[in-house]
Amino acid sequence: MELFTTWRTWDQARAALAASGAAPADLATLDRAVAAARRWHGDQTRPTGAPYLEHLLEAVEVLARGRGVTDVSVLAAALLHDVVEDTGATARDVEAEFGPWVGELVEWVTKPPSDGLGRQAKRAAKAAYLRRLRDAPREAIMVKLADRISNVQTLDRMPPDFQRRYYAETCTYIIPLADLPDGGDPWFAEWYATWRARFAHLR
């Protein structure tokens, strides 16, 4: 199972993207997206304590190095995919800085707020959001699939109860997105099949 954990800083990621042929204008757009992500996420960290930017760079690495995505809008959306959900930024803020298409992609992968809801209602709201992704544009689905690869590629580092819940959720809602009749993607489907076998003990 291929891991996407080599781009730990933007300098590393930028150098790799430049070496693969990314246009200077596209790199400049991604420079702005990284700066915006840093500004909005501030000092947020991942559950492991790692800087939040590492997760965003992993999603970009999945798309660019793994899937071979060169569309700068998709890569920018990957860098910004959590800002509306996890910071004070709004979809309008993203659109104002990066245009309506990037704003739409980020909005598609943003989980609706669930503050004030009970546990059951939160789970129902999340399930509804995940089901709705089946209707998302193909580019938004790729961002979500890359986001989840970042989260699950080292699932064995998380607490056992979380591992089982997240494995089940990924198999139920996320993996089918790679196999949609009109929006499926063979590369993602193959990666997730390997991942599913690697963590089959969690079934």
Residues noted as catalytic: 85-86
CA 122 to each of CA 126, 148, 163: distance values in angstroms, whole numbers, following the listed order:
6, 19, 19
Rg of the chain in Å (alpha carbons): 16
Length of the chain: 203
For residue 189 the two structure tokens come to: 């489907």
Give one DSSP letter per residue of 22-85, joined into a string.
--HHHHHHHHHHHHHHHHHHTT-B-TTS-BHHHHHHHHHHIIIIIS----HHHHHHHHHTTHHH
- What distance in Å separates the CA atoms of residue 149 and residue 10, rounded to the nearest whole number? 19
Give me the amino acid identity at 40: W
Cβ atoms 55, 42 nearer than 8 A: no
Q: Is 120 exposed, middle or buried (0-12, 13-18, 19+ CB in 10 A)?
A: exposed
State the CB neighbour count (10 A cutoff) for residue 25.
9
